Structure 1
Amino acid sequence: MSSDKTSVQSQKSSRKIHPSVWVLGLVSLFTDFGTKAVQSVLPLFLVSVLGANISTVGLIEGIAESTASVLKLFSGALSDYWGRRKELAILGYGLSAAIIPVFALANSPFWVLVGRFGDRLGKGIRVAPRNALVADVTPPEQRGAAYGLRQTLDTIGAFSGPLVATLILLISEQNFRLVFWVALIPGIISVCLLVKGIREPQSAERKRNASIQWSVCRRLGRNYWALVGVAMLFNLGNFSDAFLLLKAQEIGITATWIPLSMIVMNFSYMLSAYPLGALSDRMGRKQLLVGGFWLFALVYLGFAWIDQPWQIWGLFAFYGVYLGMSQGILLALVADFTPPELRGTGFGIINLVIGIILLPASLLAGFLWQTVNSQTPFLLGSVLAIAASLLLLIGIRNDN
């Protein structure tokens, strides 16, 4: 009887996601609406309007992701020390919104680099405090569902943005700069929503570490550091999504319809993130993450050998399912493996590692694309995903 009562209470609890998670999800929705609208057309803008080559695209993406990622560690650690995560999140989201006009005014690849760097800088500031804030307000048995819900709302914006970008390109005869100006509006809305809608948990306000020290890394534990190693290996082959868009263009998808591929990807991501996150609360996260890595490997094999335009849509759909099987679950694992007073630091370290590894990943992908062929980067990514899944199985002993 007591186990039945516990089960009923657990089921009731799972239906009551904390309001702050909903607000953070809506903030992500509006932010991703703007950023994904920009990103869905940016590679084509660079190549067709500003005259950049593929290696330049890889360089810009790699520098933007990696250089700004250093702040992910310090913002996470600062949120632990300061005991205030909301203000750092506001700063990060505000910077990403404020930098959007740079894309609209850009007249050379350098200014696109400035814009991408500023956008990723904002993400570097906000991601670790935001993810820690979700964990602060969510009990362990709900974390998969909470992160899945936030990812689902995030992804509604991520497919709506490219959809609007596609419509703008159709109506305006491929006016890329108009897309960038429209993307500024949801960015402003997201900042206002964050300012008004989030109240810092009192536990986070009271708890401060004495100082930000490297010695705290020893307290994060074996499973956490094994997870960092897995993320490092996997993301060496998980290069920028800009190359997926360029692959779509290579096989014959016209520039006007390229953003539709992002819509398909993010729609399947939206449908899968919450149910798979909630499933991880019941069956364990490690198995689902391994499955996500294997699905990624298969999808990248598909991108390597694809030769017909109609095939691209199925690959982008399955890529979205991979995201649903991995992104929120990885965050829940980080929360599981870190003590409450070090959550910001834990999220910051793993985000730093992933961000840094994206520079060589994107540079290598651009180099292999130009010097060998467009298949080679995807084949390498597939092999590394399988290797990362094996390391995950061996290196992590017991997830929740």
Structure 2
Amino acid sequence: IGSRKWLAVSGYGLSALSKPFFYIAGSWGAVAAVRWADRIGKGIRTAPRDALVADSVRKGRRGLAFGIHRAADSAGAVVGLLIALYLVSSIQPHEVELRAATFRTLVLWSLIPAFLAVLALAVGARDVPRPAASKEAGSQDSEAQTSDSQDLTPGSPANQAEGSGRAGGRARDHLGRPFWIFLGIVAIFELGNSSDGFLVLRAQERGLGVTGVLAMLVAFNLVYSLVSAPAGHLSDRFDRRRFIVAGWLVYAALYASFALAQSTAQVVVTFILYGAYYGLSYGTARALVAELVPAEIRGTAYGLFNATVGILSLPASLLAGLLWQGLGSWHGFGPAAPFWLGAGTALVAAVGLMVWRPAGPEPR
């Protein structure tokens, strides 16, 4: 549609508009519907947002840019969780279960940053002119295509419209084999990457209450925030795959620790360290995607990447639930099983990424 910014704004807007309905939701079906709308908003915004980040910086700074983005996101989560921790500890200091009234109070507070984020993006962000995909557009197009470092070079509006029109169908054919191989490796990892809610359930199973869970999430996001920017910056200097592999190996080790944990303290420490996995791999993987495809089809690439991650989260979580508690007369393999599965798929994906050598220059 020619505007990544407004597509991202619409996604954030849908998520923000859905949040007030949590306040009045009176059944699990209503909560599921509101949650569904919120996730649709996330699906709409994520790909254009990632493409905006990639377009806004030169190649040698993308890892840092995505790292800063993730660090800021996690820092915001820390502030939000600290507010939630204060509210919960004030309203129900000694209770394990979250009261409905407390939940509604948290919903009201969450509306403030949700709508401020939409306003900040709408006012502060801008679309970056992109090089046209077709060589037939003439000398102006070819000038914009000479180097990846010229992503910020503005072209005439007419030239961009003409190029994007001709690129439409052909662009999706030019994602290239390296991108599809990387996407396949990511899919292997995601098959065992169930919802982080299972980690919280593991902590609660070991006796952690509501305020303890919130404090644990604060520490997790703090680690995530502190690791993201340095890891992204280093990935600009070295092969990005090393950092993704490191993140997946950390994930495998920590999931094995979740499976073996016998005490609340073990689960809490493991969960806090889990932030290092996100910091090492989350932003770095998205920086790598930007370098595996032409600039004019990054939106398509990010759409496919995030769709793969999002779609596979459902079967991964369903499988984790079945392994944990079974179905019907079958009682499953117990709480440790989904974590062993996650550790195994992470190891397989890490090995696959280590042996993969994309054509051309090493991705950085």
Using the size of structure 2 for normalisation, the TM-score is: 0.84
In 2: Cα distance, 1:83 partner to 1:136 partner: 13
In 1: Cα distance, 2:309 partner to 2:357 partner: 18
**What is the match of residue 289 of structure 2?**
334
In 1: Cα distance, 2:45 partner to 2:289 partner: 16
Amino acid at match of 1:259: L
Is residue 2:157 matched to residue 1:201? no
**What is the match of residue 50 of structure 1?**
none
**What is the match of residue 154 of structure 2?**
none
Mapping of 1:319-398 within 5 angstroms? 319-371=274-326, 372-397=333-358, 398=362
In 2: Cα distance, 1:171 partner to 1:294 partner: 39
Is residue 2:166 matched to residue 1:210? yes
How much does 1:199 deviate?
2.1
CA deviation profile, 1:257-276 (whole Å, cap 9, x unmatched): 21222111110000000000
Mapping of 1:148-227 within 5 angstroms? 148-173=67-92, 174=98, 175-203=102-130, 206=160, 208-210=164-166, 212-213=168-169, 216-227=171-182
CA deviation profile, 1:355-381 (whole Å, cap 9, x unmatched): 111110011111111122110000000
**What is the match of residue 282 of structure 1?**
237
Contact (CA 8 Å) 1:102, 1:115: kept in 2 or not?
Answer: yes
In 2: Cα distance, 1:88 partner to 1:328 partner: 21
Contact (CA 8 Å) 2:66, 2:286: kept in 1 or not?
Answer: yes
Structure 2, unaligned stretches of length 5 or more? 93-97, 132-156, 327-332
Point out 4+ residue stretches in structure 1 off by more than 6 angstroms. none
In 2: Cα distance, 1:217 partner to 1:202 partner: 19
**What is the match of residue 119 of structure 1?**
38
Amino acid at match of 1:149: I
Contact (CA 8 Å) 1:293, 1:322: kept in 2 or not?
Answer: yes
SS in 1 for 2:363: coil
Stretch of structure 1 that moved more, 177-186 or 156-165: 156-165
* Greater C-alpha radius of gyration: 2
In 2: Cα distance, 1:223 partner to 1:93 partner: 31
**What is the match of residue 13 of structure 2?**
94
SS in 2 for 1:253: coil
How much does 1:316 deviate?
1.7
Is residue 2:224 matched to residue 1:263? no
Give aligned-pair identity as a percent.
39
**What is the match of residue 301 of structure 1?**
256
User: How many correspondences in the alignment?
Assistant: 318
Amino acid at match of 1:368: L
How much does 1:212 deviate?
4.3
Contact (CA 8 Å) 2:190, 2:312: kept in 1 or not?
Answer: yes
Contact (CA 8 Å) 2:172, 2:297: kept in 1 or not?
Answer: no
In 2: Cα distance, 1:155 partner to 1:202 partner: 29
How much does 1:203 deviate?
3.6
Stretch of structure 1 that moved more, 124-133 or 153-162: 153-162
Is residue 2:165 matched to residue 1:238? no
Amino acid at match of 2:106: V
SS in 2 for 1:194: helix
Contact (CA 8 Å) 2:288, 2:363: kept in 1 or not?
Answer: yes
Q: Which has the higher contact order (CA 8 A, sep 6+)?
A: 1
**What is the match of residue 139 of structure 2?**
none
Amino acid at match of 1:239: S
Structure 1, unaligned stretches of length 5 or more? 1-81
In 2: Cα distance, 1:190 partner to 1:305 partner: 40
From 48, 56, 76, the counterpart of 1:129: 48
How much does 1:209 deviate?
4.2
SS in 1 for 2:224: helix
How much does 1:101 deviate?
1.6
Using the size of structure 1 for normalisation, the TM-score is: 0.77
